[in-house]
Amino acid sequence: MRRLNLVFLGCGAITAAHGRTLARRRDEVRCFYASRDRERAMAFERRFGGGGSFGSYEEALADARMDAVFVATPPHLHLELTLAALARGRDVVVEKPAFPRAADCATVERERARSGRQVLVAENYCYKPLARFLRAEIAAGAVGELRFVQVNALKSQRGDGWRGDPALAGGGALLEGGVHWVDLMAHLGPPVVAVRGHRAGKSDGPERSSLVVLDYEGGAVGTLCHSWETPGLLRGVQLSRIRGTEGSIVFESNGAFALVCGRRRRLALPGFRDLTGSDAMFADILAALRGEREPLMTLHRAWEDLAIVEAASGGGSHGTVDRAFHRSSRGGAHRDLGHVQGQPA
């Protein structure tokens, strides 16, 4: 198995997190680091045992050794750098949210098809053990026919730096952080067919609190309470619930535990070893870059997530999710996680 050369564009907190994860996979990938500040890139190279560093994104893209580019800058640069990498014949991994607008995905898809390269999205929530557990329980009929999905994602988080500037972040808290939860809820089983959204709190400045309502095919309804300005108890521990005609599942929102109260009652611990899903995400990404399989988190799935966020961000508007697009993306979006998690399907 040839080791891949992967260069990170941007040396911020998310690159540090990914650098730690990939340091455990040095037999599969050699990481390089690029920043507009050469000293910063060199510091990341030393810190994570990288293969080299660059003082500009252009220098990194021009290096013929690179097999793939990981775009880890603020979102306003994602589209520009993704297109530049594709033009150089590189595969691309882009940090979530993939792009500020859903329409950007169409632009990227055209260029991806023209170049013959891959564009992957680093969205770890779909790889969480919790996501696989909930989907399996719903599919097995543990709660009967699905009726309600209620997810609480509330915390106190600073929105300073580029996250406090909509021009750099591409939007507010729902785009930057809420897209994680949108992906989790949109791929539990039945497809989302309509979206409503309401901004909570002050109407000026970047959005920091939202209520999102999802209508599922078959009649179930989901609600997401998302906020960066409402501190929760016990350092973010909070409960969410799925209800059906024959029972319910109460789960800690981040995946620490789940209590199934339906045809049979049981307490489950979906998986502490990879609670965030990051290890499974990179196992899938690296396998996709080697051409071994299509990834679970496809560009089309990220496109659908962004379309839902946009529909919810209209301030009380009612939006529908394009069904033709949904059918085209469904195969990759709903694939089982057994091969990624290392557990039976």
pLDDT tens, 282-300? 999 999 999 999 999 999 9
Q: Is the pLDDT of residue 344 over 60?
A: no
**Which positions ≥6 away from 222 have C-beta within 8 Å?**
148, 149, 150, 151, 185, 192, 213, 214, 215, 216
**CATH number, span 4-122:** 3.40.50.720
3-state secondary structure of 113: helix
Share of the chain above pLDDT 90, in %: 80
- Give the pLDDT score at 236: 72
pLDDT at 336: 28
Token digits of residue 300:
């089309």
Report how far apart, in Å, the C-alpha atoms of 177 and of each of 10, 89, 154, 279, 333 are: 19, 30, 11, 20, 20
Dist. CA 23–CA 38, nearest whole Å? 21
User: Yes or no: is domain 126-273+298-320 CATH 3.20.20.60?
Assistant: no
First to last CA, the chain: 26
The sign of the torsion formed by the CA atoms of 62, 66, 68, 73 equals negative
Q: Residue 271 — very low, low, confident or very high, per pLDDT cuts 50/70/90?
A: confident
Q: How far apart are CA 116 and CA 82, in angstroms?
A: 14
Strand-pairing partners, residue 221, are 148, 215
Q: State pLDDT tens for residues 82-116.
A: 999 999 999 999 999 999 999 999 999 999 999 99
Query: According to the model, what pLDDT value does residue 14 have?
Result: 97
Q: Is the pLDDT of residue 325 over 60?
A: no
Instruction: Provide the angle, in degrees to the nearest 10, between the axes of the packed helices 102-115 and 299-312.
Output: 160
**Residue 164 binned pLDDT confidence (cut-offs 50, 70, 90):** confident
Chain segment 4-57, per-residue pLDDT in tens? 999 999 999 999 999 999 999 999 999 999 999 999 999 999 999 999 999 999
pLDDT at 308: 97
Say what the pLDDT of residue 315 is. 42
pLDDT at 234: 72
> Alpha-carbon distance 11 to 94, whole Å?
14
Q: What is the pLDDT of residue 148?
A: 98
pLDDT single digits (tens) 170-212: 889 999 999 999 999 999 999 999 999 999 998 888 899 999 9
pLDDT tens-place string over residues 127-142: 999 999 999 999 999 9
| pLDDT reported for residue 324 | 34
Length of the chain: 345
Distance CA 48, CA 95 (A): 19
* Burial class of 109 by CB neighbour count within 10 A (0 to 12, 13 to 18, 19+): middle
Number of Cβ within a 10 Å radius of residue 188: 22
Q: Please tell me the predicted confidence (pLDDT) of residue 157.
A: 84
Range scoring the smallest mean pLDDT among 202-211, 245-254, 328-337: 328-337
Confidence band, pLDDT 50/70/90 cuts, at residue 68? very high
How far apart, in whole angstroms, are the C-alpha atoms of residue 28 and residue 2?
Answer: 7
What does pLDDT average to over the chain? Answer: 89
> For position 334, what pLDDT does the model report?
30
User: For the chain, how big is the Rg over CA atoms in Å?
Assistant: 20
The reported pLDDT for the residue numbered 158 is 78
Are 81 and 98 a contacting pair, CB within 8 Å?
A: no
Percent of the chain having pLDDT more than 70? 90
Q: Please check the confidence at residue 306 and state whether its pLDDT lies above 90.
A: yes
pTM: 0.89
Q: Are 207 and 172 in contact (CB under 8 A)?
A: yes
Asked if residue 71 lies in contact with residue 92, where contact means CB atoms within 8 angstroms, the answer is yes
Q: What is the mean pLDDT of the segment spanning 117-131?
A: 97
Mean pLDDT of 308-332: 55
Residue ranges of the chain assigned to CATH 3.30.360.10: 126-273+298-320
Residue 107 pLDDT: 97
Give the residue range(s) of CATH 3.40.50.720 domains in the chain: 4-122
d(CA 72, CA 96): 9
